[in-house]
Amino acid sequence: MALEDLFKVVKDRSKADTKPKADTKVKKPGMGVEIPRGLLFKCPRCGTVVYRDDFERNRSVCSACNYHARISFRERLEMTADKGTFTELDAGLTSLNPIDFPGYEEKIAELQESCGIKEAVVTGVCKIHKYNTVIGIMDSNFMMASMGSVVGEKITRAFEYATEHKLPVVLFTASGGARMQEGIISLMQMAKTSGAIARHSEAGQLYVTVMTDPTTGGVTASFASLGDIIIAEPKVLIGFAGRRVIEGTIKQKLPDDFQSAEFMLQNGFVDMIVERKYLRPTLSKIFRTHNYTRMEEYKGGAGA
């Protein structure tokens, strides 16, 4: 099965990512002093340990291997949109429990509390380098940003809004795939979002995908792969099937770079790999070459 094991894999990879508990202590090699683990970031790709402050100042990019780590909706918005230009769309949508999966509502409520967002994607309109655009940002902290009814509906509405207002769409994808807790309804969101993209595309509007860590499963097999231009962040995981499923099939271990952004570029499924620090100017150039006009002269500065 396509999606089996995917969550396991993504979770395994994310374990190293999540903030270690602040009360445990770690000895930093060669330093001889104990410091709280919460102050450190260990790169899940290369294992390098750095101070969290330095790491965050570096836009949450590993200074050793250039892995572009997972960041929250808030952090992404701040480094992408022009300051003060973001207006959220469809903020009031929340999940129900279509197949009565035990504990689903409680899990959602918990995540809403801990993540400070209502679902795994936030959509809205903003300016990037003064270009008006619809933006969607998936946050892997929220149930590995799996796609259920709300994610599907918000993305669909974002494209419908963009079609109506003749705007481009920039989507930051990150997902473990379909949200199995919603059963077949989650699978149908793949078709629904793809339909809205088809209409936006037919209306001659631009859709840019930015694939971030991890873009997998049913999201790769729907809206993430349908951008007119597909950008990926360095070293992120991009793929359809879970690594363990494939390893189980072929009975051997896969190379580390399998299903990386670089692997996808080499195989022809992304247009370019762009580092975080160059993303805004890259998007600006893309808007410019698609005949979108700036609202006024851009004077610099990101941050919502």
The binding site for Zn ion (CB under 5 A) comprises 43, 45-46, 48, 62, 64-65, 67
The one among 46, 64, 65, 96 contacting another protein by CB under 8 A: 96
| Angstrom distance (rounded) from CA 85 to CA 175 | 26
| Angstrom distance (rounded) from CA 258 to CA 250 | 14
Please state the closest distance from residue 62 (CB atom) to Zn ion, in A: 3
264-293 binders of another protein (CB under 8 A)? 267-269
101 contributes a contact to another protein by CB under 8 A: yes
The one among 43, 62, 178, 273 contacting another protein by CB under 8 A: 178
214 contributes a contact to another protein by CB under 8 A: no
> Which among another protein, Zn ion, none contacts residue 178 (Cβ within 5 to 8 A by kind)?
another protein
Nearer to another protein, 201 or 284 (CB): 201
The one among 113, 202, 296, 297 contacting another protein by CB under 8 A: 202
Non-local CB neighbours of 200 within 8 Å, separated by 6+ positions: 159, 160, 162, 163, 169, 207
Please state the closest distance from residue 231 (CB atom) to another protein, in A: 15
182 contributes a contact to another protein by CB under 8 A: yes
| Nearest residue to 156 (alpha-carbon basis) of 177, 143, 171 | 171
Angular region, 194: left φ>0, alpha ψ -120 to 50, beta rest: alpha
| Nearest residue to 211 (alpha-carbon basis) of 190, 226, 192, 230 | 230
Amino acid at 169: V
CA angle at 222 for the pair 216 and 228, rounded to the nearest 5°: 105
Non-local CB neighbours of 126 within 8 Å, separated by 6+ positions: 77, 80, 81, 82, 85, 86, 87, 132, 133, 135, 304
> Which among another protein, Zn ion, none contacts residue 67 (Cβ within 5 to 8 A by kind)?
Zn ion
> Which among Zn ion, another protein, none contacts residue 52 (Cβ within 5 to 8 A by kind)?
none
> Which among Zn ion, another protein, none contacts residue 185 (Cβ within 5 to 8 A by kind)?
another protein
| Angstrom distance (rounded) from CA 97 to CA 121 | 18
The one among 18, 63, 94, 289 contacting another protein by CB under 8 A: 94
Please state the closest distance from residue 172 (CB atom) to another protein, in A: 17
| Residues touching another protein, count (CB under 8 A) | 69
For residues 300 and 129, the answer to whether their CB atoms sit within 8 Å is: no
What is residue 87's three-state secondary structure?
strand
135-164 binders of another protein (CB under 8 A)? 149-150, 152-153, 156
Residues forming contacts to another protein in the complex (CB under 8 A) are 1-8, 90, 92-101, 149-150, 152-153, 156, 178, 180-192, 194-199, 201-202, 217-218, 220-226, 239-242, 245-246, 249-250, 254, 258-259, 267-269
